[in-house]
Amino acid sequence: LLDSAMAVCEENKLEYFKVKVLNEKGNIYGNLGDISRSLSYYLAASKISEKYNDKKNLVGAYANIGISFMYNKQYAKSKEYLRKALALAIEQKDDKNIGNIYNNLGAIYMEENQRDSALYFFKSAAAHFEKVDFKRGLGYCNYYTAYLYQRANDHKAALQYFEKAADVFTK
What are 118-151's pLDDT values in tens digits? Answer: 999 999 999 999 999 999 999 999 999 999 999 9
> What pLDDT is stored for residue 7 in this prediction?
84
DSSP letters, 18-80, are HHHHHHHHHHHHHHTT-HHHHHHHHHHHHHHHHHTT-HHHHHHHHHHHHHHHHHTT-HHHHHH
pLDDT of residue 4: 85
State the sign of the Cα–Cα–Cα–Cα dihedral 107, 109, 113, 118.
Answer: negative
Q: What is the pLDDT of residue 153?
A: 96
Model pLDDT for residues 5-49, shown as the tens digit of each residue: 888 878 888 887 888 889 999 999 999 999 999 999 999 999 999
| DSSP label of 94 | -
What is the number of other CB atoms lying within 10 angstroms of the CB of residue 12? 10
Q: d(Cα 110, Cα 18) in Å, to the nearest integer?
A: 35
Q: How do residues 61-115 score in pLDDT, each as one tens digit?
A: 999 999 999 999 999 999 999 999 999 999 999 999 999 999 999 999 999 999 9
For residues 110 and 120, the answer to whether their CB atoms sit within 8 Å is: no
pTM of the model: 0.90
Question: What is the C-alpha separation between 95 and 3, in angstroms, rounded?
Answer: 33
More confident residue, 1 or 68: 68
Of 102, 158, 159, 88, nearest to 130 (Cα)?
102
